[in-house]
Amino acid sequence: MILNIVLMLAVIGIVGYIVYYNIKKKQSAQVEVAVSVDDKTYTIEKMIEFVKKRLDEITKINLYDIGLSEEELKRRKNKKYALKKALKGCTYGDVNDKKYVKELIFDILKNEYGVTETNISKAIPFDVPSLLTPQDKFDILIYLYKKEFGYEALTQLIKKYDLARLKYLEGETKPCYVITGQEIDDIYEKESPVLSFEDKLNVVVQRIYQHYKGYSSIDEIRDMNIDGVSGGVSGLPESFLSQVAQTDSDYLNQVTEHKVPRACDSIWIFFQGVSIRLAFLSFGTEAELKRVCQNIYKYNNPGQLSDTNGYKINEMKDGSRVVVVRPSFSETWAFFVRKFDVKRATLEQLVRLPGAEDAIELLKFLVKGARITAITGEQGSGKTTLLMGMIENIYETMNIRVQETAFELHLRKIYPTRNILTFRETDTISGQEGLDVQKKTDGSVNIIGEVATDPVASWMIQAAQVASKFTLFTHHAKTFPNLVTALRNSMLRTGVFTDEKTAEEQVVQVLNFDVHQVKDFRGRRYIERITECIPLESKNEYTFEHRNEKTLEGKFDKFFDNATRYFEKSTDKQLYTYRNILEYIDGELVITNPITTQNLKEMRNNMSEADVEEFDKFIEKHWGKQLEQQVQYSSREEEIEVKSKMKKQKEKVTSTVAATGAKKTTRKRKTQNKE
């Protein structure tokens, strides 16, 4: 009996111990993972492995199995949800989620992995500058500059050391825009940064983050306030290397030794209109470049990038536009991130050349005067940014509707109280359908981010005629005749018109002005010209002089004169002319020719009284009192004519009433006399 009791107690004790051990094991979700310390323990690769495993444990643990109190369970659930959300959001370019994940990695490395002042140098040799790579030095410099200047860090670094200048590389005969590893070494030596343990750990955390959830070597660069960043756009692709290996072993050795750049060594930034190659940075491998390309476009689930669908155009969480391409559509994996700084998109900040004041006034009056205006220029010339600056001057009472390929303007960020709605193309909704929907959304102003396809160009012309008060759009035309021809051809290709002259006539009747942007080889962006389109009226130049001729020969001569005029009009009819209202001359913006009277009158009719007064002063200042009086006289003449007609109508009514009254009085008197 006693033996049985002892055995039962022993079994109960063993079972209890096993249960206690399992509960204790599950409760240790935060317990430190055993780390076998050796020479490779504190390398970046080992720490990345540990961080991945640790974060995976935190996000996948079942909190209901570890016996937490209700309050602790709720707190842990919120923390788990926040981490999951941040891990997802940081891959979309959300800087707040990125900051959250980095702080968590910082705590894990410091408190669980055991990173200290002594062993942190095994990851990056902070204490021996000669062992630091140019990328290590750049990461340290950017970290320190970011502490002081925030997202202006890269701009400050480039400007301070004049890195965005043309330079000759060793062995090269032509200058180029490039920042070399030697320049970074020299800057690091001049700065001689002194880092605390926290600074060092933050640099290591950034390196781990960019290879785990970030965008590799461009991760911090992408966040900076620059115009854009791209990768995979230079160097030798992998497919080329396999061909070279069979024919030229010496060349392959040079590539292997990194003397010849590969596609994965290609990192470029777009800085103040200039494309600069960062020769000291690299993705390291083709696989890393591919990983970045596959992750950088994923915001809002735009669909899968595949071999059959070899490109994707999308935006990121911060509003940046991203374009990704892949083989076999392109020769290598590549991406292009284009950033738009909405805070700086004002005309005063964009137009800074001598004569800028007059140019800015003219642009404002074009918008306030409801002129249909094209903004043309090559890629990267600043068309979209200038468009954002012009939109500021649209009257508050007008509703704005925007059509874009990818969201770029983000007007509601700048004007949150305005009535603005933006549409974009999707895989199932074309630009044409989007523009058709706009007609039913009570819009006053249509803004088209880029007229890039024939249907959009065709609809833009039609909408400008009937669907909205006026339209602003961008186009890649180089000259004004090219713009008219491109829009005309789009009308023909979409089948709206079949006759060239008719299509061109519709274009020139709609188009009022063209603002042409230029980017020179040094990256300067400026307005080259503002051009007015002047439609030519068709005049009846036929004569009836044949009636005065006495002989048949004379009548035939006059008839053939008219026939000749007819064929001239049919075959070589000039539908429009154009002239530059403003031009870039010798480094200065100069107002040259006056705007036509017809456009001036229509602009005045669309402006408020205060703006009309300012506009009249502008006209008098640049084109003289005579033109101002001519425009004003025309409008007063119309007013006088209307008032005169009203006066005559009133007099006519008065006389009619008086005559009717007189007739009644006469009849009344006759009736009284008879009685």
Exposure string (b/e) for 188-215, b if CB count within 10 Å is 16 or more? beebeeebeeebbbbbbbbbbbbbbbbb
Question: Can you state the percent helix, strand and coil of the chain, rounding each to 5?
Answer: 55, 15, 30
Per-residue model confidence (pLDDT) at position 643: 47
- Residues 6+ positions from 543 with CB-CB distance below 8 Å: 558, 561, 562
> H-helix or E-strand containing 335?
strand 334-338
Residue 355 has φ and ψ, to the nearest 5°, of 90, 10
Amino acid 472: pLDDT: 92
Is the pLDDT reported for residue 291 higher than 60? Answer: yes
pLDDT at position 440 is 82
The continuous run of DSSP H or E covering 571 comes out as: helix 552-571
pLDDT of residue 642: 42
Least confident stretch, 142-151, 606-615, 618-627, 660-669 = 660-669
Residue scoring higher pLDDT (411 or 14): 411
pLDDT of residue 75 exceeding 50: yes
* 107-109-113 Cα angle (round to 5): 125
The 10s digit of each residue's pLDDT in 240-264 is: 655 554 555 555 555 555 567 888 9
Q: What is the mean pLDDT of residues 155-184?
A: 89
Interval 7-21 mean pLDDT:
63
Q: How far apart are the first and last CA of the chain?
A: 150
How far apart CA 52 and CA 108 sit, in angstroms, is 11
Residue 156, pLDDT score:
94
Query: Are residues 559 and 492 in contact, defined by beta-carbon separation less than 8 angstroms?
Result: no
In Å, what is the CA distance from 640 to each residue of 304, 633, 646, 647?
67, 10, 10, 10
State the pLDDT at residue 253.
58
Q: Do residues 124 and 203 lie in contact, with contact meaning Cβ atoms separated by under 8 Å? A: yes
CA distance 302 to 293: 14
Q: Kindly state the DSSP code that residue 231 receives in the 8-state scheme.
A: E
CATH classification code of 120-339: 3.30.450.90
Distance, in Å, from the CA atom of 28 to the CA atom of 36, rounded to the nearest integer, reads 19
Over residues 82-128, the pLDDT tens digits come to 888 998 888 888 889 999 999 999 999 999 888 898 889 989 999 89
pLDDT confidence band for 442 (50 / 70 / 90): confident
Backbone angles phi, psi at 471, to 5 degrees: -135, 140
User: Following CA atoms 450, 452, 458, 459 in sequence, which dihedral angle do they give, to the nearest 10 degrees?
Assistant: -40
Domain 353-536+576-614, classified CATH 3.40.50.410, yes or no? no
pLDDT (tens digit, 9 = 90+) per residue, 397-413?
Answer: 899 998 887 777 888 88
Position with higher pLDDT, 657 vs 456? 456
Rg, the chain, Cα only: 37
Percentage of the residues of the chain whose pLDDT score is greater than 90: 37
User: Tell me: the pLDDT tens digits for 124-133?
Assistant: 999 898 899 9
| pLDDT category of residue 650 using cuts at 50, 70 and 90 | very low
The answer to whether the beta carbons of residues 172 and 88 sit under 8 Å apart is no
Q: How confident is the model at residue 588 (pLDDT cuts 50, 70, 90)?
A: very high
Tokens of 63: 């909190």
Q: How confident is the model at residue 218 (pLDDT cuts 50, 70, 90)?
A: very high
Query: Is the model's pLDDT at 538 over the cut of 90?
Result: no
Length of the chain counted residue by residue: 675
| C-alpha distances in Å from residue 269, one per residue of 149, 367, 409, 600 | 19, 33, 21, 43
3-class DSSP state of 582: strand
What 3-state class would DSSP assign to 67? Answer: coil
Q: Where in the chain are the domains?
A: 1-31, 120-339, 353-536+576-614, 539-572, 624-675
Q: Is a pLDDT exceeding 90 seen at residue 290?
A: yes
Q: In what order do the strands lie in the sheet with 267-271?
A: 166-167, 176-179, 274-278, 267-271, 228-231, 334-338, 321-325, 311-315
Q: Rounded mean pLDDT of the chain?
A: 82
Q: For residue 340, what pLDDT band results from cuts at 50, 70 and 90?
A: confident
